[in-house]
Copies of this chain bind each other. A is one copy, B any other.
Amino acid sequence: MGKNNPIVGVQLDRSSGIPLYSQLYQSLKKMIQNQELPPGQKLPPIRKIAGDLKINNSTVVQALEVLGREGLVYKHVGRGTFVSTALESFNEESSGAEIYDFSSLSPSPQLFPVREFKAALNHVLDYYGGEALSYQSHKGYQPLRTKMASFLHQEGIDVSPDFIQVISGGQQGIDIAAKVLLAQGETIFLEEPTYPGSLLTFQSRGARIIHIPINRSGLDFVELEKRLLDFRPRLIYVMTKLQNPTGYSYTREQKERLLQLAYKYNFYILEDDYLSLLDYRTYNQREPSLKALDRWDRVILLKSFSKVLMPGLRLGFAVLPEELQEKFLEGKYATDISSSGLLQMALYFYLKDDSWEKHLDAIREEFQARYKLVKKFLEKLKPLLYYHDPRGGLFFWVRVNRGGSSENLGRISRKKGTPIAPGSSFFAGMQNSPWFRLSFATGDKENLEKGLLVLEETLREFQYGENLNIEEEKGPIL
């Protein structure tokens, strides 16, 4: 890095009260993100940076350490520090949002019951010692599966713990179901738009993917039944509650209809209840899941603790039809042998405790408050945009009116520190969409409000004509 070393241009304000290392970290981070410091670039030696900016070596070391922890730079033993080469561009959970991250569904870490879970972990290690760190049963820690069976019982699902399989998070449930049910070239039906992680998995099985649109009234059953005449899917993947990204929830009638079709055309349904117990819908009664209505044993239900408790647990459950249980267990073994016994046991002891119920109430309350805040914001901004009211959940599905492209909106928002999730990521093969997903899961209420202010400004400036750039508008209007 010779004359074009951008680091010499870093401005540090010694009177601002913000630690110098933190200012340097912020500046370097910006340069990495906008590629002024491109991937793979070797940084100048610490002494040089310190000399150029007239700061201590240790200040530079501290800044680099934070950048290193975030994966933005890495130290190559004996050779120096480099800007990381592989930035995870398809990462939905983006990091580095300066004001508020509207694109991510990662719940805010401030909401995690760290103290209580830490107590559960310690209890397990004290009581069980090495056994807790040995291989756990492939199906999963029995008491935990029994506990899940009692949660399911409260939802109207009566199933033996033998048909409950512990998995390493909801995504793994999708992966194993694909492995078990879809050989090369077999057909799967997906909602459109849908959760992108599922597309990745089904594509990697070489499955033929048929998309069934979701419109204002929900899944397009006319289209579904039409497609069923031509294609015989082995599996249909749906999110019946607070669908990602539309926020749509199936009616009782729609669930019954889907089950009848599964029976008539002999396919399985993978029901992804990714929000699980976080459902706090404000107006509707909580509707029974597909699995609760499933009298023909066609539904594989996925439950996850990632959104309602903590993503870092990497724990979820698959509730299986009797005839799939053994094959799914075999698929689990072939995937990663078993999920972490320590975390399963800690989760069990945590769930036994009162604090779990209190946690549920607290996060439902928190997200309901945020939901109301964002809804008010969206109401205020009509007719700039149209939105679907999910009446619960962690996000809204919003449409920019007047032909705007959410890809463009996304670029602008990201620059202003308020990234959104442009709709095109949720449709296979789409380049532009007027829709985007606006999440309120991350950060805290204060930053959410700040972010909404900035976003409002952005939306008001986002005029017709300036940003008209739609090559393709796919899917029906929601």
Contacts and interface: CB of A to CB of B under 8 A. Distances in A.
Contact of A334 (B110, B112, B197): B197
Contacts of A110: 130
A160 interface: yes
Contacts of A201: 334-335
| Chain A, interface SS category | helix
A98 interface: no
Nearest to A153: B77
Interface string A460-478: 0000000000000000000
A202 to B, nearest CB: 9
Contacts of A68: 142-143, 146
B142 A70 contact: yes
Q: State how many copies of this chain the complex holds.
A: 2
A325 B106 CA distance: 25
Given A314-B336, A334-B201, A334-B204, A133 B112 contact: yes
Interface string A229-271: 0000000000000000000000000000000000000000000
Nearest to A91: B138
A286 interface: no
Interface stretch (A11-19, A117-125, A353-361): A117-125
A150 B74 CA distance: 12
B313 A340 contact: yes
Interface string A93-119: 100000000000010111110100110
Interface stretch (A82-90, A290-298, A370-378, A450-458): A82-90
Contact of A134 (B146, B311, B338): B311
Given A149-B77, A329-B88, A340-B313, A171 B335 contact: yes
A302 to B, nearest CB: 13
Interface stretch (A161-169, A421-429, A432-440): A161-169
A88 B138 contact: yes
A117 B129 CA distance: 11
Interface residues of A, number: 83
Contacts of A343: 340, 342-343
A335 B114 contact: no
B130 A111 contact: yes
A333 interface: yes
A71 interface: yes
A137 interface: yes
A175 B314 contact: no
Contacts of A133: 109, 112, 114, 117, 310-313
Given A86-B325, A171-B337, A183-B206, 9 more contacts: A76-B160, A114-B130, A114-B132, A118-B122, A168-B314, A168-B336, A172-B335, A184-B185, A204-B334
Interface of A: 68-71, 74-77, 82, 84-86, 88, 90-91, 93, 106, 108-112, 114, 117-118, 121-122, 125, 129-139, 142-143, 146, 149-150, 153, 160-162, 168-169, 171-172, 175, 179, 183-185, 197, 200-201, 204, 206, 310-314, 325-326, 329-331, 333-343
10 contacts: A68-B142, A71-B137, A74-B160, A85-B160, A86-B162, A109-B133, A112-B133, A183-B184, A184-B206, A314-B336
